[in-house]
Structure 1
Amino acid sequence: MIISKNISLHVAWEAIWEEVEKAASEKDHPYRYPILGTVDTNEKPDLRKVVLRDYKDGNRFIIFTDSRSLKVGQIENNPSVSLLFWNDEMSLQLRANGKAEIYTDGETKEQYWEEQGKHGYHSYTSVHTPGERISSPEEAFEWEGLNPGHFCVIEITLEEAEFLQLNGIEHLRAKRVISGERIIDNWITP
């Protein structure tokens, strides 16, 4: 447990963001694999596990995907998204809501492709579109090679967040709202 009632809210949020920062570089960190929530074309929630690739400036989460995936179209239609992080060892949940921006070309895409993306290129270079019906599992293993064509970066800018620290009967919960340059933090009832 990293959050207790004896620390300030400022210190609590610092501890949370430190864990997120670690997760972006430590493959075994529980926050490394959050759940991303988007809204589908029928205005229903759509959830999937993603990999946190980077955490920048204390308010931007970076993930990668195939530009042909459903989540990209969903984000283009409605950029409001949520990330849900859970750390079982610490009994600590983090919910982060924000606006997503998609980079399918340009400097941001090129930088992340060179630094990280090309090392897992099989995730972004399938001959087949993600979710496409195939006649056998082997077809899923046909790739275009080391081509960043379908690789894309999703950057989520934080607008609000909540953490929940489970602790027997004394759970602790707080909310952060970001409005422009202003940050409003409050303890809230669990």
Structure 2
Amino acid sequence: MNIALKLVEKSKNIVVSSIDDQGYPNAKMMFNARERDGIKYFYLTTNTSSLRVSQFKKNPKASLYFSDTRFFKGLMLLGDIEVLTDEKSKELIWRDGDEIYYPLGVTDPDYCVLKFTGKSGRYYSKFKSTEFIIE
């Protein structure tokens, strides 16, 4: 879906949802992925000590939501998130200036990568939704 990919590319921030211990969705605004492969794989930064990480370790089910509020378009992707703490993954998305969030640098134990693997999606535009499978 090229139109969905365009929305992903234009989005600066996204909403990431996890599932809490009671089975309820928890949504959080985050920066868009620094690295990705189409709409299947997304790599996000976050704190290892965050609530989101503890939730994804218990239940990897997740959604990413991208929106264009000007034209009232949206894209929801459903999939699973892995919490990655290996050096290669952390270096993949590290950027100059990240020290503001992770003072110890790329090896900061409170810095990790969330790898989202998409399974399906739903794109909304012009009062119409289209569902699709991500291959």
Give the TM interval when normalised to the shorter protein.
Answer: 0.7 to 0.9
Look up the SS of the partner of 1:73 in the other structure: helix
Q: Deviations over 1:33-58 (max 9, x none)?
A: 11111011222211110111335221
Cα distance change on mapping 1:93 and 1:147 into 2, 3 Å: closer
Say which one has the larger Rg. Answer: 1
When normalised by structure 1's length, the TM-score is 0.64
Aligned match of 2:7: 19
**Aligned ranges for residues 36-75 of structure 1 at < 5 Å?**
36-58=16-38, 59-75=40-56
Q: Deviation digits for residues 105-138 of structure 1, max 9, x if unmatched?
A: 231112222xx2x41222234xxxxxxxxxxxxx
Contiguous gaps of at least 5 residues in structure 1 = 1-12, 24-30, 126-144, 184-190
Q: Which residue of 2 aligns with 1:140?
A: none
Which is helix-richer, 1 or 2?
Answer: 1
User: What is the DSSP-based 3-state SS (H/G/I as helix, E as strand, rest coil) of the residue aligned with 1:68?
Assistant: coil
Counterpart in the other structure of 2:63: 82
2:100 equivalent among 118, 122, 126: 122
Matched, 1:164 2:124: yes
Unaligned runs of 5+ residues in structure 2 are none
CA contact (8 A) 2:75 2:121 kept: yes
After TM superposition, give the deviation of residue 65 of structure 1 in Å: 0.3
Q: List structure 1 runs of 4+ shifted beyond 6 angstroms.
A: none
Secondary structure of 2:112's counterpart equals: strand
Normalising by structure 2, what TM-score? Answer: 0.88
One-letter code aligned to 1:70: L
Deviation at 1:70, TM superposition (A): 0.9
Mapped partners of 1:55, 1:97: distance in 2: 18
2:115, 2:101 → 1: CA distance?
18
How far 1:147 sits from its partner (Å)? 5.7
| Residue 72 (structure 2) pairs with residue 94 (structure 1) | no
The separation in 2 between residues aligned to 1:164 and 1:34, in whole angstroms, is 15
Correspondence for 1:152 among 94, 97, 112:
112
Identity %: 22
